[in-house]
Amino acid sequence: MEKNAATPAARTNIGAGMRIVLTTRAILFWLGMLLSTAVVAPLSLLTFPLPFVMRYRFIGLWTHFNLWWLERCCGLHYQVEGAENIPADNAIVMAKHQSAWETMALQRIFGPQVWVLKRELLWVPLFGWGLALLEPIAIDRKAGRKAVRQVVDQGIQRLRAGRWVVIFPEGTRVAPGERKRYGVGGALLAAHSGYPVVPVAHNAGEFWRRRSFIKYPGVIRVVIGTPIASAGRQATDIIAEVEDWIESTMVKISGSSA
């Protein structure tokens, strides 16, 4: 299966022989991910006395390896459009969330960053412990306003410390062609902090699907939009602009790569 040769529908309607090939490639990828986790996670715990940047760089080796391994095993690459829109200073990134792929790839596109994520991830043995060393904003999704307040308060702290804050405003992975309501937490952080929002759209879900073992070969398109100003604006206006840009861009890129 060549790059840029198949549509999303063609990826679904593949023959038995190709499915065996893709499954074998996926097995190799997952084995590499498991082995790299078994090696890096315990070692990462030894970095706890180090400054954040040094911890981030070491633990980030896991991400770099697995994205490289994904390309080698599954033939899944990516291209970035709009890199010139990335501001020189740190900001808030709001991105479409379709798969696990973007949680890794955004680390290679932007600078040292923290993520807003569900706190249960920190309870995963080894993986979660290493993740905790990166000081994410780990929220209880059921906490409502308390969770939003946590995003704002801790987000401002992280931004002032020079870190990028990555937020998936839909809160969970959404299948290609679908959309969920955009949460206002990230926009409140932007409104209270005055930091701009960098919107990101991508079609990773067409290749690395939710609950799918197989990873389809091809080129993921990642589009970075012009930073959206937040100073002096209402959170509702900010999130409306973010959603409009991301979703309109998704219409343009969905099904455009293979």
The 10s digit of each residue's pLDDT in 183-233 is 999 999 999 999 999 999 999 999 998 888 999 999 999 999 999 999 999
86 and 191 Cβ atoms separated by less than 8 Å:
no
Across-strand partners of 215? 208
Cα–Cα dist 247/156, whole Å:
27
Judge whether residue 112 has pLDDT over 70: yes
Q: Which domains does the chain have, with CATH numbers?
A: 8-253 (3.40.1130)
Cα–Cα dist 54/47, whole Å:
8
CA 3 vs CA 203, 209, 218, 223: distances in Å: 15, 18, 5, 19
In the chain, the percentage of residues whose pLDDT exceeds 90 is 79
Cα–Cα dist 44/62, whole Å:
10
Helix (H) or strand (E) holding 178: none
Candidates 172, 203, 170; CA nearest to 11 is 203
Provide the residue type at 93 as one letter.
V
pLDDT of residue 257: 45
Across-strand partners of 139? 118
115 and 103 Cβ atoms separated by less than 8 Å:
yes
pLDDT of residue 12: 60
pLDDT of residue 130: 86
The 10s digit of each residue's pLDDT in 9-43 is 456 667 788 889 999 999 999 999 999 999 999 99
The 197-202 sheet, strands edge to edge: 76-81, 218-224, 197-202, 92-95, 164-167, 113-118, 137-139
